[in-house]
Amino acid sequence: MWQKGRIIAILIGLLVLSGGNLLVSPILGEGNQTCKMDIMHTEVCSQYPAIMVTGYWDPTGKMIAPFSTSSYLNPGGWQGENWENQGYNIYSYFPTPGIYNGTLEVDYQDTWNDFWNITLQIHPVAIISFGAGDGPWEIEYSTRNLEFWINDENPPYQPTPSPPDDTVPAGFIRHATLPIQAIADAVNSQTDIEAWIDWDGFSGMYLCEYIGYLGMRYQSLHSGQGDLYPCRLAGLIHANNELPLHDAMTVTNITIRETIRYLKETNTAPNAPRITGLTSGEVGTAYPYTFVATDPEGDNIYYWVSWGEGCTVTDWMGPYASGEEITLEYTWDQRGDYSITAIAKDIHGEESEPGTLEISMPIKDITGYLREFLEMIQEWLDTFHINIPLLDRVLS
């Protein structure tokens, strides 16, 4: 009986120390705060949007070589990551200079397959196609969906399919969406190389015009609002094959800079994310919170989330479609008031104003370790047919 009385005294003491409302303080002391998170929906993706540049005949392959990730074509190493800290990755693709085999080799079928495989992997926001032509820096306004092309060097000699675009009639003309006037003006003002826009002519009926058309078609396919991988710009530029390599590389960089400048100037940041979920709860319990933001251009979005001072930061997640809701779960292990903060970023790196939700985790319910302890005690008391009404009420 002495042991039974001692157990009852312990139970009463626990109830008294809880303040009569069955709350308990966390065991963790200050400075040892820990937080747990369960992401219910996330996707890994490169932090920077991609710009794709392609080349064919000299000097176009050599002038874009620094942006190749191939150690064979670019022994000096890829220089395209977050190029010039502009927030864009630049990727170049071209056949081996001089022999023109490998990626985008001089063959319509290989070029078709390589182009669609590459775009599927990097989802470019802009495509700049380069080829050798009259130049010195001839910016093409138009490319055509031709049914008949100049033969390549390998059977079947003509593209398959031909015309390459079955969504429009043969002979359909697509126009460049690059900032062609800004590119021409920048090249002419910064160098002695003449840049000009071919407003009325066409682009040669061979592989340069062919891949230029594919780029413009890809941009058209991914120009709709809400496209998860939008492509905003595409165009074709012919460089004279006698242009010195250093000059060609200089003008290439100017062209890419003007493309990035245009992407940034015409872009608007997403709105502040809206956060919804419970604003009060119990520590040790996972709660779901929903985040959603929209982008004025319909660009896809990344999210960054902070769960409050001293807690985990959920680094950039995405991409998600504009207006798509994502749900994350989080568990706080200490009582306190917290501010959930979320920032949205579009694919061009423009960040929104922060969205916030103030929450409070004031209590630790006995549904945790205390309930388990009391249930164990009640089970032990039941073996002695001891009934404590207050304990029954607490557990109910």
Q: What is the pLDDT of residues 327-373, one digit of tens each?
A: 999 999 889 999 999 999 998 889 999 999 999 988 655 455 566 77
Nearest to 196 by CA among 240, 249, 260: 240
Q: What pLDDT shows up at residue 22? A: 33
Say if 50 falls within a structural domain.
no
**Phi (first) and psi of residue 160, to 5 degrees:** -130, 115
What amino acid is encoded at 291 in this protein? Answer: F
Q: DSSP states of 247-278 as a string?
A: HHHHHHHHHHHHHHHHHHHT--PPPPPEEES-
What amino acid is encoded at 52 in this protein? Answer: M
In 266-368, where does DSSP find H-type helix?
A: none
Q: Give the number of domains in the chain.
A: 3
Residue 157 and residue 248 in one domain: yes
Span 75-84, mean pLDDT? 96
**Length of the chain, in residues:** 396
pLDDT digits (tens, 9 = 90+) for 103-117: 999 999 999 999 999
pLDDT bin (cut points 50, 70, 90) of residue 138 is very high
Residues 6+ apart with CB under 8 A from 18: 24
CATH number for the domain spanning 332: value is: 2.60.40.10
**Phi (first) and psi of residue 376, to 5 degrees:** -65, -40
Say if 18 falls within a structural domain.
yes
Min mean pLDDT across 227-236, 258-267, 333-342, 356-365 is at 356-365
pLDDT digits (tens, 9 = 90+) for 52-63: 999 999 999 999
Residue 70 and residue 171 in one domain: yes
Residues 6+ apart with CB under 8 A from 335: 25, 26, 283, 361, 362, 363, 364
From residue 292, alpha-carbon distances to 40, 278, 353 in Å are 14, 16, 13
The answer to whether 56 and 106 have CB atoms below 8 angstroms apart is: yes
What do you get for the CA distance between the two ends of the chain, in Å? 26
Q: In this predicted model, which residue has the larger pLDDT, 54 or 45? A: 54
Q: In this predicted model, which residue has the larger pLDDT, 367 or 87? A: 87
Min mean pLDDT across 100-104, 168-172, 309-313 is at 309-313
Residue bearing tokens 């002391």: 29
Q: Token pair of 134, please?
A: 């009259």
Nearest to 230 by CA among 373, 123, 81, 366: 123
Q: What pLDDT shows up at residue 17? A: 38
DSSP state of 97: T
Q: What range does the domain containing 17 cover?
A: 1-24+366-396
Q: What pLDDT shows up at residue 11? A: 46
Q: In this predicted model, which residue has the larger pLDDT, 346 or 224? A: 346
Give the CB-side neighbour count of residue 15, counting CA atoms within 13 A.
Answer: 15
Residue 13 has pLDDT above 50, yes or no: no
Residue 241 and residue 100 in one domain: yes
The answer to whether 115 and 109 have CB atoms below 8 angstroms apart is: no
The answer to whether 333 and 284 have CB atoms below 8 angstroms apart is: yes
Q: Mean pLDDT, the chain, as a whole number?
A: 86
Residue 137 and residue 222 in one domain: yes
Residue 255 and residue 284 in one domain: no
Say if 49 falls within a structural domain.
no
From residue 82, alpha-carbon distances to 6, 48, 85, 90, 356 in Å are 69, 7, 5, 8, 30
Residue 82 and residue 224 in one domain: yes
What amino acid is encoded at 211 in this protein? Answer: I
Q: Which residues pair with 133 in a beta bridge?
A: 240
Span 287-297, mean pLDDT? 94
Residue 23 has pLDDT above 60, yes or no: no
Give the CB-side neighbour count of residue 163, counting CA atoms within 13 A.
Answer: 19
Q: What angle do CA 391, 393, 396 make, to 5 degrees?
A: 110
pLDDT bin (cut points 50, 70, 90) of residue 209 is very high
Q: DSSP states of 56-68 as a string?
A: -STTHHHHTGGG-
Say if 112 falls within a structural domain.
yes
Residue 73 and residue 29 in one domain: no
> What's the rounded Cα separation, in Å, for the pair 273 and 341?
9
Residue 20 and residue 87 in one domain: no
> What's the rounded Cα separation, in Å, for the pair 370 and 356?
33
Residue 355 and residue 385 in one domain: no
> What's the rounded Cα separation, in Å, for the pair 251 and 63?
9
Residue 115 and residue 193 in one domain: yes
Residue 257 and residue 307 in one domain: no
Residue 356 and residue 394 in one domain: no
